Homo-oligomer: A and B are copies of this chain.
Amino acid sequence: MNLTLKVLPQGRSIQVRKNTVLIEALHEAGVDLISFCNKQGLCGKCFVEIMKGKRPEPGAQEKWLLARKRLPGNFRLACLYRMTGDLTVRIPEEATLPLMPVLKRGFRRIIQPNPAVRKIVFAPFRPDLASPLSLSDQVRAHFPSPGKKASPALLKDLAILLDDSYGTVTAVIYDGAEILDFEAADTAEQNFGIAIDLGTTTLVAELVNLNTGKTIDVVTALNGQARFGADVISRITAVFQDPLKSEALRTAVLDSLNTMIEGMLKKHRIPAHRVYEAVIAGNTAMNHLFLGSPVKTLAVSPYHAVFSALSPLPASETGLLMNPRGKVYVAPNIRSFVGGDIAAGLTAIDLAHQKGDYLFIDLGTNGEIVLKKGRQFTATSTAAGPAFEGMNISCGMLAVPGAVYKAEYDDGLKVMTIANRPALGICGTGLIDLVSLFLERGVISPQGHIKGPEKKIGVGPNLFLSQKDIREVQLAAAAVKTGIRLLLSLDKLAVADLDGIYVAGAFGNYLNIPNSMRLGLLPRLDKKKIIFVGNSSLAGAKALLVSRQERARCERLAQKIRHVSLATDAAFQKTFIEALEFRAWK
């Protein structure tokens, strides 16, 4: 016998079989009711208002959960309600899943938060003489699967929390399978995580509310490892030659990250122990150095990694400033020199689910390039160097307030700075604009020579480009160009065949397309097909932080991507030398 379920405020009616659990019927009808406890009547998130229909008496636990939210008597938990007659329910907005936009600029994609870290409030009962249940038995009864693994250290803390009062406590559950911690009182709303873009030159950390997926703050800083070498190769070599340096490099980046995190947490008055998960998206070498893993095998042929994918680690093993019982998830490396940052970035733009042939270019200290042809992915990595991040350039700086990020020629050279501050230096996009303008106006030759006797081009007060700076841009652009050419030729595709080019990097959407094309950094393609996705590594890290589904997709993708090494390609040297000349693609 079918029953009618009417859902307000939408007003839709659906047919439901008798004895169906309400939450199942609603999920089937496309209403995304929240459930943190896997529909077990524990979390109290899926409350709905019964407008018309039976209202059976709630049990003790349900009553307690509804009372905590001060809900009137016609509210019930949808996971504990079985349909026995026609029903009209109203869905409160707070009971449905929030939506989170990925990559706000350039590319929009919406995902639903489904974080690995869940907080569930519960009230242990005081044992009595007739039934002196142990605390561990109580925990196990409440959380059947994760409760089984509660450690003595955790139970000890719970015993101390409860002591004589037996008040409300909050359990922090990980992936439905593990209890990470217990907290005094109801802290369900305080569930925070940190997404980290672990760049070779630049670090970005984003503080996120895990329940809603909302960003609280974002900070950028230089990677403290820079003093051991500007690029991946020089840092790996430093450790290879002196393995004791491994710990020095590890603590250098850790110190940078912890300073960033500390600043954000202080500003928003969030205690570090309320942060239970961090996601790291970095290239393979950065991930290895962050965890203090040996990098010897990355330094010598055949360049293999110690790890690609890892299970989430105990935070205490990483030293990150967060709850030491929390977890750190490292986005899966694809192969030796195409890392978790790319896997995360591809997940952020959901490239696997788009039809057609696409290039994905991530411009950082490494230039990673992924070509998607139909359903096949091929990735490679080129050593672009840190020029695009404003490093190794006489007046270079990160893309932070005061950096020249844009330049035009109109009656004379005009430069724009981030936040309109007085110019302090030149960041990556400004550099590309300047070199392109100087090339157009004949100040430098296509071979990169500065014409005239000065060998230095003035840009503003105390700002200039040297001959060495031009060379750095030339080498970086040539590396990327070569990578693109080789991948296209490997898959027998022409630029014109592409349905689009995704451009990612710290650049954001400030990169000037005509200028980039003039230097040959980007192939010539209809401007509409060039899609700037900004820092896709960070956006991906955030997607992995707030959604278990995105994590699973990312892991699947990382396993299927084919990797080619440019170093082994016979055509590399020749293509690279040709690419050194500043020239638009034919």
Contacts and interface: CB of A to CB of B under 8 A. Distances in A.
Nearest to A135: B306
Contacts of A296: 159, 163
Contact of A294 (B127, B156, B335): B156
B301 A129 contact: yes
A155 B302 contact: no
Nearest to A137: B308
B294 A159 contact: yes
B159 A336 contact: no
A160 interface: yes
Contacts of A159: 293-294, 296-297, 306
Interface in A264-321: 291-294, 296-297, 301-311, 313, 317
A177 to B, nearest CB: 12
Given A159-B293, A160-B294, A302-B127, A136 B310 contact: yes
A223 interface: no
Contact of A136 (B140, B160, B163, B307): B307
Given A159-B293, A565-B129, A152 B313 contact: yes
A304 B132 contact: yes
A566 to B, nearest CB: 12
Contacts of A317: 151-153
Listed residue (A130, A134, A153, A317) with the most chain B CB atoms within 10 angstroms of its CB: A134
A202 B151 CA distance: 27
A293 B152 contact: yes
Contacts of A134: 304-308, 333, 335-336
A128 B153 CA distance: 45
B309 A136 contact: yes
A140 B332 CA distance: 14
A149 interface: yes
A77 B168 CA distance: 57
B152 A310 contact: yes
A132 B291 contact: no
Contacts of A489: none
Contacts of A137: 308-309
A310 B411 CA distance: 78
A542 B185 CA distance: 42
A181 B130 CA distance: 45
A153 B296 CA distance: 15
Contacts of A311: 148-151
A241 interface: no
A568 interface: yes
A-side interface size class: 35 or more
Contacts of A129: 301-303, 565, 568
A506 to B, nearest CB: 27
A135 B565 contact: no
Interface string A536-554: 0000000000000000000
Contact of A152 (B291, B304, B335): B291
A133 interface: yes
Contacts of A149: 311
Interface in A138-153: 140, 148-153
Nearest to A128: B302
Contacts of A301: 129
Interface in A102-144: 127-130, 132-137, 140
Interface string A555-571: 00000000101001000
A160 B294 CA distance: 8
Contacts of A565: 129, 132
A336 B132 contact: yes
A472 B137 CA distance: 36
A496 B152 CA distance: 44
A152 B307 contact: yes
A294 B135 CA distance: 11
B306 A132 contact: no
Nearest to A164: B296
A308 B137 CA distance: 7
A294 B301 CA distance: 54
> Which 3 pairs between the two chains have the least Cβ-Cβ distance?
A134-B305, A136-B307, A132-B304
Given A136-B306, A150-B310, 16 more contacts: A127-B297, A127-B302, A132-B304, A132-B563, A134-B308, A135-B304, A135-B307, A137-B308, A149-B311, A152-B313, A153-B317, A155-B293, A155-B306, A156-B294, A156-B306, A159-B297
16 contacts: A127-B297, A129-B568, A132-B305, A132-B336, A133-B304, A134-B304, A134-B305, A134-B335, A136-B308, A150-B310, A151-B311, A151-B317, A152-B292, A156-B294, A159-B296, A160-B294
Interface of A: 127-130, 132-137, 140, 148-153, 155-156, 158-160, 163, 291-294, 296-297, 301-311, 313, 317, 333, 335-336, 563, 565, 568
